[in-house]
Chains A and B, each alone.
Chain A
Amino acid sequence: MNMFIATLLSPLIGGVLLGLIRNPELAAKLNILTGMTTFVFSILLSMQVVGHDAVDAMGGWFHLDAYNVFLVALTAFVGMTTTIFSRPYMQHELENGRVNTNRMRLYHSMYQLFQFGMLLGFTTNNIGVLWVSLELATLATVLLVSLYRTPASIAAAWKYFILCGMGIALALFGTVLVFYASSAVIGHGNEALTWTILMEHASDLDATVMSIAFCFLMVGYGTKVGLAPMHAWLPDAHGEGPTPVSAVLSGLLLNLALYALVRCKMLVDGATETDMAGHIMMGFGLFSLAVAALSLHKQRDIKRMFSFSSVEHMALMTFAFGIGTPLATFAALLHMTVHSLVKSAIFFTVGHAAQAMGTQKMAEIRGLIRHHPGIGWGLLIGVAAIAGFPPFGVFISEFLVFSAALQSYPWTVVPLLLGLLVAMAGLFRFVQPMVYGETAPHARHVHVNMTPVYIHLTLALLLGLSIPTFLADWYHEAATLITMATVTGGGA
């Protein structure tokens, strides 16, 4: 599995090298190059894995199946386009004195280390290492959130650090409990935390211990997913950090936390043979959806507003994974893809808009279309896509979530629909005045690169019009993999 090693090493080597380069312009180029290399390797890797059975790499330490290799490719892709966006964006911040060259070095280096943590987390076969890599990615982003060293950014980073530290400490306790249950069955050693082996023995694990473990894992990883009421860190971290960081937080890091949660749910389902875990996830999903939809209306900062939209969509995915039927899982995976694409595109656009207007306050951002049509249209189309308008992919995935909910739990459609409508109203209420009308007098010309935005939105559009066969097969394969655990109680 040489492709696999290359995929993992590329951001690590890139991150170390970028820590040594002082010239910001050169570093930005190398950052893009690293992103592209990782992406190319990840595509080659997925071509090797898809269509075959799951592959173990490096003596069983890593495990690649349809579910995670798809997330590896998605992570590498969004990671690459974000590096392209971040070049002009960070250049502008440097010129305006919000960062100095040393901070730029930190930024580039931590960005790639974050990517490394993400890819390690997705590919590892050991749920303990999964925890370690999630913590690693969190630590890297803490430094990125505090990059500007303003009072608000330091406070936000501290809050993020303490809340997520506490949250994932709970997840670690859950992992200890899983190990407690599994070492009694499998024996004391690495095998007892190795996911593939755990899956084989899932039905032998003690149901009581696994239920208690799931409660800790749910709250722990749920904090990182941004589920209410543990979401308090999320808007601050998104609002105060540099925009490329907001984009990867929303588009990628939340996915890793949800991925970890779903992996654990598969185990717990196998052990308890009930829908307990799924029901808890559905409950958290519905509650977070309601909280996010209502909080969205109260925001004044554009990045905080869109971060609540991320809570809303993560809640929807958690809900869909909670239902657990093949259709719902398919929908959740599709939603994960389109949400990552569209939300990072929106953050790219928002970043340029905030630079052009010199503020993140929505009340002072006016007339984007007249000032710079690219930014204005990008924001408008992006918001239409995320709000679930056809023909974008979000519409299809939300439609599928609704169908799945109707099949299994019809009453949940009412709060779901209500939540999505309230959130949509909130988005348009703020976006309309920002996009149309007279340009605000303080607007200035900035160098923008809208290509990543257009690529993301085009992909989201294509996914909405027709999902390519290979991709549909891929989702289907992953959905079968995830739900098979639920139905048969392990033994994939």
Chain B
Amino acid sequence: MTIAFSQQLIDGLASLMLLVSFALLAQHRMLSVLHWFAGQGVLLSITAAVVAYSSGHEELYISAAMTLLLKGFLLPWLLWRVIRQLHVHREVEPMMNMALTMLMALGITLFAFHVIQPIELISDLATRNTMSIATACVLLAMLMMMTRKKAITQVVGFLAVENSLFFAAIGATNGMPLVVEIGIAFDVLIAALIFGVFFFEIRNTFDSMEVDAMNASLVHKDDET
């Protein structure tokens, strides 16, 4: 594989990544959100493998394998099991105006490119284009966390932020040092397990997975005299 070809491949993967971020934002069926999320994980691990091959950083292969296992299979599977057990896998999530959300997403993407441009002018790294896209993906995943009303989709948004950050790290810098990578993966796994426990607690306590129902118990606290 020549540098130019692998570069094109990485650029292609980056645009796919952006596409998946938009798709995640637009899904309103619980199950399809999970499918796209798993797809994002697999895409990430492919990117990591390609970057590992083209840059010769062998420790990135370990990251790629870890990502495939954790983000491509384990986390989506855990989430899938949870929603099956909670009987919400067929639920459809009401969303705010789709056209408006998409317009905001478009604006965010433009903004990300605008902010990252000054960096690219002075960068000589081969994989520089990916930085703008990664920034856009981080912000899009945050938009997803903000526009969603259900605890589970918020968590998928949170994990998508984590995915985009990982994408930024491999795309722009050929991956963070392995120790840090493993530490982050460990934290994400623990976080996902805690989230899982929380889903059941939320369901038992509030009889619903809506975040608004939870916040009501806190708002009420402020108002009582």
Binding site for B on A (CB under 8 A): 126, 128-129, 131-132, 135-136, 139, 142-143, 146, 149-152, 154-159, 161-162, 165-166, 169, 172-173, 176, 179-180, 183-184, 188-190, 192-193, 206, 208-209, 212, 236, 239, 298, 300-301, 361, 363
- A-B pairs with beta carbons under 8 Å apart, 8 shown: A132-B184, A135-B187, A156-B218, A157-B198, A159-B215, A165-B158, A169-B158, A173-B168
CA distance A166 to B160 in the complex (A): 11
The answer to whether A158 touches B165 (Cβ under 8 A) is: no
Q: Which residues 83-115 in B have Cβ within 8 Å of A in the complex? A: 115
* Distance from B24 Cβ to chain A, minimum over Cβ atoms (Å): 16
The answer to whether B205 touches A151 (Cβ under 8 A) is: yes
Q: Which residues of B contact A209 (CB under 8 A)?
A: 119
The answer to whether A208 touches B217 (Cβ under 8 A) is: no
Q: Which residues of A contact B118 (CB under 8 A)?
A: 208, 212
Beyond contacts A135-B187, A212-B115: 14 other A-B pairs, Cβ-Cβ < 8 A, are A128-B180, A139-B187, A139-B194, A149-B205, A151-B206, A166-B145, A172-B165, A172-B184, A173-B135, A173-B138, A179-B169, A179-B173, A184-B123, A188-B174
CA distance A483 to B42 in the complex (A): 46
A176: contacting residue among B145, B173, B206, CB under 8 A: B173
Known contacts A139-B190, A183-B173, A208-B122; is A146 also within 8 Å of B165 by CB? no
B125: contacting residue among A156, A173, A184, CB under 8 A: A184
CA distance A146 to B214 in the complex (A): 13
* Distance from B77 Cβ to chain A, minimum over Cβ atoms (Å): 21
The answer to whether A176 touches B169 (Cβ under 8 A) is: yes
Q: Is B161 an interface residue (CB 8 A)?
A: yes
Chain B contact-residue range equals 35 or more
The answer to whether A152 touches B206 (Cβ under 8 A) is: no
* Distance from B111 Cβ to chain A, minimum over Cβ atoms (Å): 13
Known contacts A139-B190, A188-B57; is A301 also within 8 Å of B184 by CB? no
Known contacts A135-B187, A161-B194, A172-B165; is A212 also within 8 Å of B180 by CB? no
B165: contacting residue among A156, A169, A363, CB under 8 A: A169
Q: Which residues of A contact B158 (CB under 8 A)?
A: 162, 165-166, 169
Q: Which residues of B contact A363 (CB under 8 A)?
A: 225
Q: Is B82 an interface residue (CB 8 A)?
A: no
The answer to whether A180 touches B177 (Cβ under 8 A) is: no
Q: Which residues of A contact B135 (CB under 8 A)?
A: 173
Q: Is B191 an interface residue (CB 8 A)?
A: yes
A190: contacting residue among B138, B177, B217, B224, CB under 8 A: B177
* Distance from B82 Cβ to chain A, minimum over Cβ atoms (Å): 15
CA distance A172 to B179 in the complex (A): 14
The answer to whether B115 touches A166 (Cβ under 8 A) is: no
CA distance A173 to B116 in the complex (A): 13
CA distance A184 to B173 in the complex (A): 9
Nearest to A183 among chain B residues (CB) is: B173
The answer to whether B218 touches A155 (Cβ under 8 A) is: yes
CA distance A146 to B198 in the complex (A): 9
Interface string of B140-154 (1 = CB under 8 A from A): 001001000001001
* Distance from B217 Cβ to chain A, minimum over Cβ atoms (Å): 4
The answer to whether A126 touches B173 (Cβ under 8 A) is: no
Q: Which residues of A contact B217 (CB under 8 A)?
A: 151-152, 155
Q: Which residues of A contact B172 (CB under 8 A)?
A: 176, 180
